[in-house]
């Protein structure tokens, strides 16, 4: 088991020869713990409405430059049927924090997906009430993704301000609720948020272990011009021990997450692929990841789901996304996983 100091040392490591030991270790742990299958999760970005004002995110309320959309139930269901045709075992329904997504509307969609497809359903709809979580679970939803973004409380409050007259957001608390309600739970962080130190990131990794997460998604922070963390007017500046939002740092965190949580599901994320369009996704899979999330949102909506600029595959059709993922998995000698790809951590626990 890696100690806190060892985690820090790896995060600061720059020597390619020593780093190759980390890559090899992560890759062999991945193979032994979860095998060579790469599971595909079809991502459907169902709404870009958002009532929050997160300092990092392009969907934040107040970004009036963004065209807002919410897909209809029929459009969402059509996408899920496309996911089945592509052979995916899971769909991920993701949105901003959108009160227009009501408890009953969402529950009905989940029920219809579960009735008409064999898909596992993952929800990623932000911070919602316990009652919403329970209703959607009862309707058949299998998993919930909610990144805690950073375990540093001061930094978190700054980048993720509470809504006016609402209590502070407590995503760790919500993750506990989600687990109790019976979901497979996923979380994660951004890498290189201005003000994030190497110690913060090491704490994030230790928190992944303590939460015993079923899924861990990490990606580089990519500044969005219409947010307070835009490149030219970063409100909080880099700290002394600032973590770079680099491709290399992202690989280190993916690899360490695998070493620390061997049996969890780890995606090679789109944010990583956005930093290295040619090989980012493959390299993530070769350094600990076992999941990819092809985007199957209809292209005319997808262009408006601009969390950060320059998102990889933002202009591809679902068919093209599918083909490029397939090629990438085969190119590195791995296989496409069949079925829902339930996390081993979850099966063990239940
Ligand atoms: N750069 C990178 N990742 C981002 N996310 C939101 N904004 C950005 C950004 N500017 C990530 C957050 C969120 C997930 C859906 O996307 O971690 O949880």
Calculate the CA 304 to chain-centre distance.
Answer: 18
Nearest-CA residue for ligand 1 atom 16 is: 307
**Cβ-contact 254, 266 below 8 angstroms:** yes
Length of the chain: 350
| Ligand 1 and 226: CB distance under 6 A | no
Write the CA distances from 311 to 30, 150, 210, 275, 303, integer angstroms: 27, 21, 31, 9, 9
Which position has the token pair 């997160």? 54
- Structure tokens given for 105: 């509307």
Q: Return the SS3 of 309.
A: coil
Supply the Cα-derived Rg of the chain in whole angstroms.
Answer: 19
Instruction: Give kind and range of the element (H or E) at residue 267.
Output: none
Write the CA distances from 44 to 20, 74, 90, 293, integer angstroms: 35, 13, 11, 10
Write the CA distances from 212 to 114, 215, 261, 343, integer angstroms: 27, 9, 8, 11
| Ligand 1 and 92: CB distance under 6 A | no
| Among 189, 172, 72, residue whose Cα is nearest residue 127 | 172
Q: How far apart are CA 279 and CA 20, in angstroms?
A: 17
Nearest-CA residue for ligand 1 atom 2 is: 221
| Ligand 1 and 224: CB distance under 6 A | yes
- What pLDDT score was predicted for residue 313? 82
- What pLDDT score was predicted for residue 236? 66
- For the chain of 350 residues, list the mean pLDDT of each consecutive stretch of 10: 97 98 98 98 98 97 97 98 97 98 98 98 98 98 98 96 92 98 98 97 98 98 95 74 97 98 97 94 98 95 96 86 91 96 94
**Cβ-contact 113, 119 below 8 angstroms:** yes
- What pLDDT score was predicted for residue 350? 86
Pairing of β 120-124 and β 90-95: parallel
Which DSSP letter does residue 295 get?
Answer: B
Q: Ligand 1 pocket check: which of 307, 308, 314 to mutate, most ligand atoms within 8 Å of Cβ?
A: 307
**Cβ-contact 289, 70 below 8 angstroms:** no
Which DSSP letter does residue 245 get?
Answer: -
pTM to 2 decimal places:
0.97
Tally Cβ neighbours within 10 Å of residue 14: 7
Q: How far apart are CA 321 and CA 80, in angstroms?
A: 15
Instruction: Give kind and range of the element (H or E) at residue 48.
Output: none
Q: How far apart are CA 270 and CA 277, in angstroms?
A: 9
| Ligand 1 and 307: CB distance under 6 A | yes
Ligand 1 atom closest to Cα of residue 188: 17
Q: Give, in degrees to the nearest 5, the angle at Cα 122 between 118 and 125.
A: 145
């Amino acid at each position: 088991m890696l100690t806190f100091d060892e985690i820090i040392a790896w995060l600061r490591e720059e020597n390619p020869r020593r780093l190759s030991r980390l890559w090899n270790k992560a890759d062999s742990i991945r193979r032994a713990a979860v095998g060579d299958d790469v599971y595909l999760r079809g991502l459907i970005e169902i709404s870009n409405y958002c009532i929050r004002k997160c300092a990092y995110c392009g969907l934040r309320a107040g970004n009036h430059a963004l065209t807002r959309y919410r897909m209809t139930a029929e459009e969402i269901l059509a996408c899920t049927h496309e996911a089945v045709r592509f052979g995916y075992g899971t769909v991920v329904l993701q949105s901003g924090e959108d009160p227009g997504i009501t408890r009953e509307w969402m529950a009905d969609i989940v029920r219809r997906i579960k009735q008409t497809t064999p898909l596992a359903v993952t929800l990623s709809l932000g911070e919602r009430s316990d009652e919403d979580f329970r209703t959607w679970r009862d309707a058949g939803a299998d998993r919930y993704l909610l990144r805690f973004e950073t375990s540093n409380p001061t930094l978190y409050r700054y980048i993720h301000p509470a809504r006016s007259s609402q209590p502070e957001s407590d995503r760790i608390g919500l993750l506990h609720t989600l687990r109790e309600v019976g979901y497979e739970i996923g979380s994660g962080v951004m890498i290189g948020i201005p003000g994030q130190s190497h110690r913060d990131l090491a704490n994030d990794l230790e928190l992944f272990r303590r939460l015993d997460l079923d899924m861990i998604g990490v990606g580089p922070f990519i500044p969005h011009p219409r947010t307070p963390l835009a490149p030219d007017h970063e409100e909080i500046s880099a700290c002394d021990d600032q973590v770079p939002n680099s491709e290399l740092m992202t690989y280190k965190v993916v690899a360490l997450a695998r070493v620390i949580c061997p049996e969890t599901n780890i995606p090679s994320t789109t944010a990583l692929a956005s930093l290295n369009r040619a090989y980012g996704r493959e390299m993530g899979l070769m350094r600990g990841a076992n999941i990819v999330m092809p985007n199957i949102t209809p292209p005319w909506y997808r262009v408006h789901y601009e969390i950060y600029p320059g998102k990889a595959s933002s202009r591809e059709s679902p068919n093209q996304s599918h083909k490029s993922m397939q090629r990438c998995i085969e190119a590195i000698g791995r296989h496409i996983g069949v079925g829902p790809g339930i996390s081993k951590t979850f099966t063990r626990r239940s």
